[in-house]
A and B are shown apart, each in its own frame.
Chain A
Amino acid sequence: MTTRIDRRMAKLKSEGRPALVTYIMGGDPDYDTSLAIMKGLPEAGADVIELGMPFSDPMADGPAIQAAGLRALKGGQTLVKTLKMASEFRTSDDETPIVLMGYYNPIYIYGVDRFLVDAKASGIDGLIVVDLPPEMDEELCIPALKAGVNFIRLATPTTDDKRLPKVLQNTSGFVYYVSMTGITGSALADTAKVAAAVKRIKGHTALPVCVGFGVKTAEQARTIGASADGVVVGTAIVNAVANVLGPKGEKTADPAEAVATLVSGLAQGVRSARLAAAE
């Protein structure tokens, strides 16, 4: 099977540039605004969209994404609504891959089988579920693969060569390399180390390797994109939303525009990455 992710990654490879993978929190700060943000992403230069499913206890996330999730939940976001967002997005865009990212419990409570049917019907291409390591593959990974949904695994600096094959075994779509041990939004790791890690992972898999955790600026996107197949930006985008919200959550500017401006800059960084590498 090929998914939108496979097709998009292959296309970018032929163009000789890395993907810009953008994370937004579904429903932040409310459903309509979040949908408008999402719809603006492809035009601003996003190649893949990670759509965050808010969770009350995001144990691997830093303060920015924690706060975004709480804003979304306060705004009434649920997993049902996050899937609805994806299907509304699909009415105007059938090409940009959507990856749902979050934690397992809301999916478990929704019911794995029902979730996969509904996710597929909503135009979801892949899943990143932070708290499902390969040891728990029977829970969701295997059923997702059977349903034709990519299951994208995180590899981290603690995933050594001995463990990598296990992590890669049922991974599809792309591999998400977490640039450092830590929570989302921390400082970016040493880019030379990241490049070495990407090379190490590529020694074990033909899948594209995207790098995230800590990428905030176009310049960083350019540097990381020189070695990686994709650059994931999350916290910076979520912060762009937070920055145009007042103390009571009121909008002081258009969040969709703020995100589009940031993403356009990041897209330029990513698009010049291989030029930089060739220099």
Chain B
Amino acid sequence: MNKPAMPNSFRTGPDEQGMFGIFGGRFVAETLMPLILDLEEQWNKAKNDPEFKAELQNLSTHYAGRPSKLYFAEGLTKHLREVSSAKGLGGGAKVYFKREDLNHTGSHKINNCLGQILLAKRMGKKRIIAETGAGQHGVASATVAARFGYPCVVYMGATDVARQSPNVFRMKLLGAEVRPVTAGHGTLKDAMNEALRDWVTNVEDTYYLIGTAAGPHPYPELVRDFQSVIGTEARAQMLEQEGRLPDVIIAAVGGGSNAIGLFHPFLDDKDVRIIGIEAGGRGLDGVEHCASMNAGKPGVLHGNRTYLLQNADGQILDGHSISAGLDYPGVGPEHSWLRDSGRVQYEPILDDEALEAFQLTTRVEGIIPALESAHAIAHAMKIVPTMDKDQIVIVNLSGRGDKDVHTVASMLGMEI
């Protein structure tokens, strides 16, 4: 793949066709085209409408609990400085967590759902559908549907229904119908196929609330814009608390909504190193991982062109991750573009490394991170000891880990 020319700004995409370089686009069935064109029009109006912005702002503050805190993770910092000393390096950067786990519903997903439910309302839709992997987006969708009085159907892979049972129950309590999808491996990819089939059937009255910064244009753009509140806040908070920008920012990437939300406001800060973490699963040698940007190649799925795990015939592979939220064989198109342009570096973290980070963070910080976020923390654990003490790292703590305790217990051979 040729490297595209270095742009003046990394924050201007997508173009009018919904492309980030060769990535993105609108690869959907004709039935859906009029709808996504309408969505684009409504979104363009909404984003410049002071009333829309004010309503979202109000909900973000009083319902979701924003701004989320930028927290100096002193316990983890101290621990990693000890690791650094033990290696004879004597360093160890300061680690901050962007606390998206403290939002209402327990993850960053609420940011996007509040924005999109207001769009659905503007468009006069009567019914909400969503796909979910870890269940975080399903819970956030069910939450806003309850709050705004919409019926809501959440498609969830049968494997994920089993490993994320607390979230399934939460969705049901919130009044949503959870439809398990048994096709494929029964994970996020299959849930997304089924949601698209529902949408194409019920296109007149249904709003598809996509949970990640992927899918046909304008979804990658609008999800990014709703999630960019993470990076905008973090940037301002860092300037206020430390008087300067961070050296490194890190976030986990499944579809990539929490990551693009943190990254986007920093993309033109040339001195800030940006690292996205993919699910390395059981290692990149086999097929049991979800590292599409490290081990996949560009292809077309779910409405956009992006890096995908696929075989030589263009059939999509299922992948694997301990974390249901990262268990997706593709990634949002803007990440693919940021990868090829070299602005963001994408690294894999293995299941075991994430599990270790999950336990360490719980022990030294008293914070149980989501397994997705634990991937980002695991990478921080690798690089922080090699950095200087006056350097600063922000890790996006995208969600809380209560939903993962069953998975972790079984990985550790315990019964609860």
Cα A105 to Cα B27 with chains together (Å): 10
- What's the Cα separation between A62 and B25 when bound, in Å? 24
Quick check: is A158 within 8 A (CB to CB) of the other chain?
yes
Residues of B within 8 A of A78 (CB): 313
Query: For A265, what are the chain B residues with a Cβ–Cβ distance below 8 Å?
Result: none
* Minimal Cβ-Cβ distance residue in B for A107: B314
- Chain B's closest residue to A183 (CB) is B197
Contact B315 A55 (CB under 8 A): yes
Q: State the majority secondary structure of interface residues on B.
A: mixed
Query: What per-residue 1/0 map shows which CB atoms of A168-195 lie under 8 Å from chain B?
Result: 0000000000100111001000000000
A59 partner residues in chain B, CB cutoff 8 A: 29, 193, 196-197, 200, 302
CB distance from B22 to the nearest CB of A (A): 11
Q: How far is the CA of A236 from the CA of B257 in the complex (A)?
A: 41
- Give Cα distance in the complex from A261 to B204, angstroms: 38
B301 at the interface (CB under 8 A from A): yes
- Considering only residues 37-64 of chain B, those with a C-beta below 8 Å from chain A are none
CB 8 Å contact bits of A46-58 with B (1 = contact, 0 = none)? 0000000001111
A105 touches B197 (CB 8 A): no
Contact check, A133 vs B30: say whether CB atoms are below 8 A apart: yes
Q: What's the nearest-Cβ distance from chain A to residue B401, in Å? A: 30
B197:A133 contact, CB within 8 angstroms: no
Give Cα A158–Cα B313 distance, bound, in whole angstroms.
Answer: 32
Compute how far the CA of A181 lies from the CA of B29 in the bound complex, rounded to whole angstroms.
10
B1-54 interface with A by 8 A CB criterion: 17, 25-35
The answer to whether B300 touches A104 (Cβ under 8 A) is yes
Residue pair A109, B312 in contact (C-beta under 8 Å) = yes
Using known A-B contacts A110-B314, A182-B201, determine if residue A104 contacts B34 with beta carbons closer than 8 Å.
Answer: no
Residues of A within 8 A of B34 (CB): 158-160, 163
A136 within 8 A of partner (CB): yes
B200 and A181 form a contact (CB under 8 A): yes
Of the listed residues B28, B34, B297, B314, the one surrounded by the most CB atoms of chain A closer than 10 A to its CB is B314
CB <8 Å contact, A158 and B35: yes
CB 8 Å contact bits of A87-114 with B (1 = contact, 0 = none)? 0000000000000000111111110000
Contact residues in A for B297 (Cβ distance below 8 Å): 109
Interface of A: prevailing SS: loop
Interface assignment of A25: CB less than 8 Å from any CB of chain B: no
A105 and B314 contact, Cβ closer than 8 Å, known pairs A130-B29, A131-B29, A131-B303: yes
Assess whether B203 is interfacial by the CB under 8 Å rule: yes
B310 near A156: Cβ-Cβ < 8 Å? no
In the complex, whether A86 has a CB less than 8 A from a CB of chain B is no
Contacts of B313 in A (CB 8 A): 78-80, 106, 109
The interface on chain B, measured as residues whose beta carbon lies within 8 A of the other chain's beta carbons, has a size of 37
Contact B201 A135 (CB under 8 A): no
CA distance A156 to B35 in the complex (A): 12
Interface contact B183-A66, CB-CB below 8 Å: yes
Which of B29, B33, B189 lies in contact with A135, CB distance below 8 A?
B33
Separation of A157 and B189 alpha carbons in the complex (Å): 27
Q: How far is the CA of A247 from the CA of B196 in the complex (A)?
A: 29
A132 vs B297: C-alpha distance in the bound complex, in angstroms? 20
Does any Cβ of A come within 8 Å of B408's Cβ?
Answer: no
Which of B31, B189, B300 interacts with A105 by CB under 8 Å? Answer: B300
* A-chain residues with CB within 8 Å of residue B312 when the two chains form the complex: 109
**Contact (Cβ within 8 A) A104 B27:** yes
How far is B297's CA from A62's CA once the two chains are assembled, in angstroms? Answer: 28
Q: Which of B190-218 contact A (CB under 8 A)?
A: 193, 196-197, 200-204
A56 and B26 contact, CB distance less than 8 A: no
Tell me the smallest distance from the CB of B208 to a CB of chain A, in Å.
12
Output the nearest chain A residue to B34 by Cβ-Cβ distance. A158
B193, A57: Cβ atoms under 8 Å? yes
Interface contact A108-B299, CB-CB below 8 Å: yes
A61, A78, A158, A178: residue with the most chain B Cβ atoms closer than 10 Å: A158
Give the residues in chain A near B302, CB-CB below 8 Å: 57, 59
B316 within 8 A of A: yes
Q: How far is the CA of A160 from the CA of B204 in the complex (A)?
A: 13
Q: Which residues 134-182 in B have Cβ within 8 Å of A in the complex?
A: none
Interchain CA distance A181-B32 in the complex, whole Å: 9
Note all chain A residues with C-beta closer than 8 A to B197: 59-62, 183
Residues on A lying within 8 angstroms of B by beta carbon are 55-62, 66, 73, 78-80, 103-110, 130-136, 153-160, 163, 167, 178, 181-183, 186
Beyond the given pairs A136-B25, A156-B31, 11 more chain A to chain B contacts, judged by CB atoms under 8 angstroms and listed by A's residue number, are: A62-B197, A105-B314, A109-B310, A136-B26, A158-B31, A158-B33, A158-B35, A159-B34, A182-B200, A183-B200, A183-B201
Please list 22 pairs of residues, one from A and one from B, whose beta carbons are closer than 8 Å in the complex, sorted by A's number.
A55-B315, A56-B315, A57-B184, A57-B302, A59-B29, A59-B196, A60-B29, A60-B31, A60-B197, A66-B183, A78-B313, A80-B313, A106-B314, A133-B26, A136-B26, A136-B27, A154-B30, A158-B31, A158-B35, A159-B30, A163-B34, A186-B201
Q: Which 3 interchain pairs have the tightest Cβ spacing?
A: A109-B314, A106-B314, A182-B201
